Structure 1
C-alpha cells in the first residue's frame, strides 16, 4: 500500500516510465515514491542502468573537453593583454626633438616713395625659429641605450627623452643608419627597465601584436592588431627593407616605438604607415627585431653599420632584355653601372656582364644581390659567376666597406 492517495499514485504511474531501451516496463514511481514493498530485481537493474548511463555521459563530456588541443585555446588568446603591457610599457619612452631653423623674412614698405624705389618687398634680417617634433623609443640597455627611428631624430639640435616614470632627461646620438631608418640614443642613467627581445623570425601571419608609443604627443598609448604580412620590401622607405606589416594602429608620434608580441616581448620598431590622410588606415610597418639588433650592435661598436660593397648597379633580366643579350633564361642580373675605383671595377667586371651567381647563390633580382653583398663584412672574399658574350666566367674578389651615403641601387 502506498503512502500517497490512490489517485496520486495512479497519476504518477501513468506519466513517468522507464526508458523503452531499458526493456523494463516497470513504473519508476514504485521506486521514487517508496512504496512499502521491496524493489524487485528488475527495479534495481533499471536504477543501476540509469546511474551507469549518467556516469557514461559525464566521462564522455570530460573526454571531449580534454581532447581539445592546448594550442587551440592558446591561439584564442587571453581576454586581456594587461600583463604584456606591464612587461613592455616601462621600457617605451617619448622622444622630443628641437631643431633650429633659419628662415628669411621679408618686409613690406609702407612709404609709397620707398616702394617706387625698391619695390613692394625688401629682404629683412634672417630669423631663427625652433621646430619641435615627437616620436618614441625603446630602452634596450639598462645603462641608457635607446633604439628609435633615424627620421625621428634626424637633424635635431636638441633631444629630450621622457621616461615612463615621468622623468625627462637629455639624450645624445650614439649613431645612425639611414639605410634602415634606425638610430641609437644614450641617456646618462642606470638601472633602467629593459624590454625583452623576441626572435622576429618566428613571427607568423595572424599573430597578435601590440603597438606602444606616443601618438600625436598625447602620452603613451597601446593599440592591438595582428601580423598581416612579413618580409615586406620594395616600399621605397629605406634601402634595406624587411618590414613586418600590421593593422595595429600606428599614428604620427608612434615612430620608433615598440611592436611587441602577446607576451610583451619586442618583435619590431614601428616605423611607417600607409595613409592617404596622415592617420592610421590599418597598414603599418615595423622593422623586425632581428634586423634592429644587428644594426644596433654595429652602431654601438663602430658608430654606424659596416656592410660589404662592390660598387656596381644592376637590373633584373626580363624576357625582352634576355632575348637581346642572347640569354635563354631570365635568371640573372645585368650590370648597368660600374663605379670607378670600386672592387667590381678593379676585378674586371664590365657593364653588360650578367651576374648569375654570388657565393653559389642564384641571383634573380638587384635586391637579392644587395642583401648578399651587404651581409658580408669589409675584407670578406666573394665569388661571382658571370656570363659575358655567351661565355661563363668566375671572378674572385673582396668586398670593401659600403660608403655611408649611397644610392639605394648601388650594390
Structure 2
C-alpha cells in the first residue's frame, strides 16, 4: 500500500526548484556565465594623432625680456588716424606703386578711443607738457638694460618708459636711431640686471619654420602669437635696404618693435610692418632680419649712430629691354642713372649708363643688393667695382665716402623747357623733339599716346641727353646712334632722360622704329 507524500517535504522541494529557476533566469538576464569571471566592457575612443608642438617652454623663458614701450612728446604729432603711421586706404595713398599695394608701416596706441580721451585730458595743458603719442614693443638685448625697438615707435619722442612683463615701469633714454632700417635703441636707467635675449642667425631660418611673436598689440602687453615663416627677402618699398622676413603670426598695431623668436628662443626678426587693407591682422607681417638688426644695434650701442659706406650714385633696375640694348646676357646688376658730382663714384670715373655687376667679387643681383653691399662697408674703405660699359667689363677702385645723414631728394618740379625752334620728329618712336636752349640734349615736345615711348612713361618736357651712351644734341645724332645699334644686331636702344633733377634710362625697341 502506497504512502501519501509528506506535505512539508513536498513543499520544500517545490521552493528549491523555484529558487533555482530564478537564479538561472537572473544569470541569463545579466548576460553572465557561470564561469565566475568579471563582465567584459568595450574600450573608450582614443585616437593616435600627431602631437602639435608646444611653445610654452620658449614663451616662459623669453617673456621676461619683452617689454612695452611708451613714448611721450611735447608736440602732439599724431593725426586722426590714431597715430599708427598707417595709410588707411587705396584712395588716399600717394601716387606710388609700392604704397598702392597697401603695405603699411604701423605704430600703435592700442585703442584709438584711448587716444581721444588722452587728448581731452591734456587739452588745457601747456604746449610744452609731454603728451602720450605712441606705444609699441621692445626687448632687452643686454643685462644692463639696452632695449631694441622700432624707430617709428620712438620718432619725435622726448620721454620714454619701458613697462616690464610684471607691470613695473622704468624710465629710459634714447641712445640712437636708424631710420633707414627702422631700428632704435633705448637704455633703461636702472642698476637692475635684466633677463635678455640674443639675436639668432636668420639666414638659417627656412620658409615653413615655426616662429613665435611676443609683443604689445593694442596695449595688451605680453601677448603671444605663433605662425610660420611665409617668405624671405621681401621688398615692400619701405627703403633702400628692404629685405624683410614675412611671417603669418598674428601681428597688429602695437607689436611694432617686438621680437619674433625661433623655437630655440633666439630673435630672428623684429616686427616692423603689416599688410592690411583693414588695419587689422590678415596674416601678413614683415620682420627686420636679425642679421641686419645685429649690425645696426651694435653700431648704435657703440657709437649712437650708424656709419655706412656711400658710393654717390642714383641707380635703377636692369630690365630685359635695357639688358638687350646694352648687350648684357642677364638682368643682373644696377644701372647707374646718375653719378653725383660730389660722390666717390664720379671721382673714380663711373658715369651714367654704366651697369655695376660686382662689388669686391660679389655679384650684384639688383639695385637693392648693391645698396646693401655698399652700406655694409665702412666709410673710407676701398672697394673694387666691376662695371659693364660699351660692351665690355671695366674695373674701378673706389674709396667709399660716408653716407649723408639725409637722403638727397630729386626735384619733383614740373618746369617744362620750351624752345621756339621748329620741332623735328622722331615719329618712329612716337616722339617729337626740339633742341634745348643750351644746345645740350633734345627736349620732348610731344608723345604719341599709342607709342612705345608713351608705354615707358616718356613725357613732354623730358630731355634726351644720350642714346646708347652717346651724347645727342640733334635728331641726326639720334639717327646715327640708332643705326649703330641696329648694325650691331641690337633690338633696342638705351635712352637717357632728364627732367628737372631726375635722371633715368629707358629702352626703346628699334623694331618699332
Structure 2 residue 145 is the aligned partner of structure 1 residue 171: no
Equivalent residue for 2:353? 352
Counterpart-to-counterpart distance in 1, 2:172 and 2:281: 29
1:146 Cα offset (Å): 0.2
Distance 2:324 2:233 in 1: 32
CA drift of 1:336 comes to 0.7
The gaps in structure 1 that reach 5 residues or longer are 1-72, 104-124
Q: Matches of residues 5-404 of structure 1 in structure 2 within 5 Å?
A: 77-78=52-53, 80-101=54-75, 128=127, 130-189=131-190, 190-232=192-234, 234-325=235-326, 327=328, 330-404=331-405
The residue matched to 1:263 in structure 2 has which SS? coil
When residues 339 and 127 of structure 1 are mapped into structure 2, their CA distance, relative to the original with a 3 A threshold, is farther
Q: Pick closer, same or farther for the CA change 1:380–1:98 going to 2, 3 Å.
A: same
Inter-partner Cα distance in structure 1 for 2:392 and 2:194: 60
| CA spacing shift, 1:396–1:173, aligned 2, 3 Å | same
How far does residue 407 in structure 1 lie from its aligned partner after superposition? 5.3
Q: Partner of 1:101: helix, strand, or coil?
A: coil
Q: 1:366 Cα deviation (Å)?
A: 0.8
Tell me the alpha carbon deviations over residues 191-246 of structure 1, each in whole angstroms, 9 at most, x when there is no partner: 111124322221111111111111101222111111111222x2012331222211
CA–CA distance in structure 2, aligned partners of residues 100 and 146 of structure 1: 23
RMSD: 2.6
Which residue of 1 is the match for residue 107 of structure 2? Answer: none
Aligned length: 314
Q: 1:211–1:224: 8 Å Cα contact kept in structure 2?
A: yes
- Counterpart secondary structure, 1:406: coil
Q: Deviations over 1:14-59 (max 9, x none)?
A: xxxxxxxxxxxxxxxxxxxxxxxxxxxxxxxxxxxxxxxxxxxxxx
Distance verdict in 2 for CA 1:326–1:217, change over 3 Å: same
205 and 222 in structure 1: CA distance in 2 versus 1, 3 angstrom threshold = same
Q: How far did residue 326 of structure 1 move?
A: 5.3
Q: SS at 1:169's partner residue?
A: strand
User: 1:91 and 1:383, CA in 2 relative to 1: closer, same or farther beyond 3 A?
Assistant: same
Preserved CA contact (<8 Å) 2:244 2:287: yes
Higher mean displacement: 138-147 or 126-135: 126-135
Alignment TM-score, normalising by the size of structure 2: 0.57
Deviations along 1:97-147, one digit per CA (max 9) or x if unpaired, are 1122269xxxxxxxxxxxxxxxxxxxxx99738342110100011111000
1:330 to partner: Cα distance: 4.0
Offset from partner CA, 1:323-365 (integer Å, 9 cap, x none): 4445565443321111121101211211122323322233341
**Cα gap change, 1:390/1:148 in structure 2, threshold over 3 Å: closer, same or farther?**
same
Q: Compared with structure 1, are the counterparts of its residues 126 and 166 closer, same or farther at alpha carbon in structure 2 (3 Å cutoff)?
A: closer
**Structure 1 residues 94 and 321: CA distance shift in structure 2, 3 A:** same
User: What is the CA-CA distance between 1:403 and the residue it aligns to?
Assistant: 1.7
**Structure 1 residue 388: deviation in Å?**
3.2
Give 1:386 shift. 2.2
Kept after mapping to 2: 8 A contact 1:214/1:221: yes
Specify whether residues 289 and 408 from structure 1 end up closer, same or farther in structure 2 by C-alpha distance, changes over 3 A only.
farther
Of residues 240-249 and 362-371 in structure 1, the stretch that sits farther from structure 2 once superposed is 362-371
Which secondary structure does the structure 2 equivalent of 1:83 belong to? helix
What TM-score do the two structures reach when normalised by structure 1? 0.71
Deviation at 1:408, TM superposition (A): 9.3
CA distance in 1, matches of 2:329, 2:147: 51
Aligned CA distance change for structure 1 residues 328 and 271 (closer, same or farther; 3 Å): closer
Q: 1:93 to 1:314 in 2, by over 3 A?
A: same
CA 397–256 in structure 1, closer or farther in 2 if over 3 Å, else same: same
Structure 2 CA distance for aligned equivalents of residues 97 and 330 of structure 1: 45
